[in-house]
Amino acid sequence: AQSVTQLGSHVSVSEGALVLLRCNYSSSVPPYLFWYVQYPNQGLQLLLKYTSAATLVKGINGFEAEFKKSETSFHLTKPSAHMSDAAEYFCAVSDRSNSGYALNFGKGTSLLVTP
Amino acid sequence: DAMVIQNPRYQVTQFGKPVTLSCSQTLNHNVMYWYQQKSSQAPKLLFHYYDKDFNNEADTPDNFQSRRPNTSFCFLDIRSPGLGDAAMYLCATSRVEGGLGYTFGSGTRLTVV
């Protein structure tokens, strides 16, 4: 089964600083990869997805991620953090071996943005 | 707007009392999923329906059941909730080709007292 590993369960950045959330994947086939954001007591909102087109993927709220096959990575970045970016972020891979293409999630990274 | 709606947003049930959570979608997606998310953990897939075909994850407890009476609705039944079943339950939908994207509902927060 395909899986992802998120490095760092908590990341703290200052407002205006670069945001970097790390995700590495394990897959025997070209993966579909996703980043989701979750605010407290809310569902998951899609930030961006990689589906084997362009390796640099731009998403909502100024986030982007780059698919690097050689590093099996799909790290999420944002040039300048806002206070409103504080949330839980999940990297996920779509398991194509499953008839329903279920998502396998990483354990999540909690982003704290300080003034 | 096409969307996934979960009701209720918050549900309190008594230990051992059956409870049903509901999910509806206006996207006409073939696949509907139920995920369980415990506090500070990643969502964990319980089961999914591909049209009327039910697919149970191997480690999903028998206490959890699901029904999909039509394309638009899917229900999660917990036959005898225990304290360990307190969690956020997330419904999601997708077309067969998962790369086209998944849409999540806002979730139902279940409390067991």
Tens-digit pLDDT profile for residues B11-58: 999 999 999 999 999 999 999 999 999 988 889 999 999 899 998 888
Tell me what the pLDDT averaged over chain A comes to. 90
pLDDT digits 0-9 by tens, A15-30:
999 999 999 999 877 7
CA distance B65 to chain A (A): 18
What's the confidence (pLDDT) of residue A97?
A: 58
Q: Do A101 and B96 touch (CB under 8 A)?
A: yes
Asked if B42's CB is within 8 angstroms of A107's CB, the reply is yes
Residue A99: pLDDT over 60: no
pLDDT for position B28:
92
Average pLDDT rounded to a whole number, residues A25-53: 88
Average pLDDT taken over every residue of chain B: 92
Q: What is the pLDDT of residue A54?
A: 86
Compute the average pLDDT of residues A100-107. Answer: 81
Test A44 with B90 for CB contact under 8 angstroms.
Answer: yes
Residue type, A37: V
Task: Give pLDDT, residue B97.
Answer: 58
Tell me how many residue pairs between chain A and chain B have CB atoms under 8 A apart. Answer: 73
The band of B111, judged by pLDDT with boundaries at 50, 70 and 90, is: very high
Q: What pLDDT is stored for residue A96 in this prediction?
A: 64
Omega before B8 within 30 of 0, i.e. cis: yes
> Does B82 or A54 have the greater pLDDT score?
B82
What percentage of chain B exceeds 90 in pLDDT? 74
User: Distance of CA A75 to CAs A21, A64, A78, A91, B55, Å?
Assistant: 6, 8, 10, 9, 31
More confidently predicted of B97 and A73: A73
Which chain B residues are Cβ-neighbours of A41 within 8 angstroms? 88, 107, 109
Task: Give the separation between CA A58 and CA A24, rounded to whole angstroms.
Answer: 18
Closest chain A residue to B50, measured at CA: A100
Q: What is the pLDDT of residue A21?
A: 98
pLDDT of residue A31: 84
CB atoms within 10 A of CB A24: 17
Contact A99 B50 (CB under 8 A): yes
Q: Which residues of B touch A (CB under 8 A)?
A: 6, 31, 33, 40-45, 48-50, 53, 55, 88, 90, 92, 94, 96-107, 109
B93: number of CA atoms within 13 Å, CB side? 22
**Distance between CA atoms of residues A108 and A5, nearest Å:** 9
